Amino acid sequence: MSYTDKMLRDDALKGKVIVVTGGGSGLGKAMTKYFLELGAQVAITSRDLEKLKTTAAELEAETGGKCLPLQCDVRHYEEVENMLQQVLKSFGKVDVLLNNAAGNFISPTERLSANAFDTVIDIVLKGTKNCTLAFGKHWIDSKQSATILNIVTTYAWTGSAYVVPSATAKAGVLAMTRSLAVEWAKYGIRSNAIAPGPFPTKGAWDRLLPGDLAEKFDMAKKVPLKRVGDHQELANLAAYLVSDFSAYVNGDVITIDGGEWLKGAGQFNLLEAIPEELWDQLEMMIKAKKNK
């Protein structure tokens, strides 16, 4: 038995309909794949419909499950409402909302424009609010029990230098998670969160730590277990928290980081060692990647 093995029995999510925001790649894709393997029907959303279609086709071929790609910019409430209606039209119901869509910049805060700061807040906090409110209203009106799972981060409660917009937004999501766990429990709606440590994904981590920076600031060195997370480990935890096996878990945030935050708060505080001239180079590298 290994930490890369699948945890739950094959039918653990049979009959459930799950919506995963930011489901086209990275951790969202990994969680979606496992949900499909466990018998769920899954709708994945993001702004990039072509990527979603490619991911959905790939996952359906691998799992034999049903994966519905839906374009949606979570920053806009009307798009979220439209996405929800499309899910209901296709699947007849929705049981689980997994708020995974995120955005981030690694930068000294004084280098950020107000718009850059707003972009992260709008995707992470406002986007999570939009989805939670739209889905919550539907569930309450239809008297349906349901589950909300939010992906936060360990620096949601410690804060972290160089990712201040993300830390600010994730802290808000964590507060929302705990608040609604109490307020909406009477409707049969559970709210929980996962706070992952380093789970590198090709796209996101290349943008955050471009060039040889990922090697220079090796995240595994900060983790007491001396390794980064495996995507299946996160998928196992997420599947448990959206399954009926976790029916008595409500209002909690589960940390899965190998002990990283206990060793040193603020995942990106170590970037204090980057000199000013290197930040100039990093900005140019990130802009070059975006323009490709």
Catalytic residues, by residue number, are 155
DSSP code string of the chain: --TTS--S-TTTTTT-EEEEETTTSHHHHHHHHHHHHTT-EEEEEES-HHHHHHHHHHHHHHH---EEEEE--TTSHHHHHHHHHHHHHHHS---EEEE-------S-GGGS-HHHHHHHHIIIIIHHHHHHHHHHHHHHHTT--EEEEEE--THHHH--TT-HHHHHHHHHHHHHHHHHHHHSGGGTEEEEEEEE-----HHHHHHHSTTTHHHHT-GGGGSTTSSPPPHHHHHHHHHHHHSGGGTT--S-EEEESTTHHHHSSSTTGGGGGS-HHHHHHHHHHHHHHHT-
Of the candidates 68, 74, 110, the residue with the CA atom closest to the CA atom of residue 92: 68
Of the candidates 27, 69, 33, 32, the residue with the CA atom closest to the CA atom of residue 51: 69
DSSP code string of 117-171: HHHHHIIIIIHHHHHHHHHHHHHHHTT--EEEEEE--THHHH--TT-HHHHHHHH
For the chain, the first-to-last Cα distance in angstroms comes to: 42
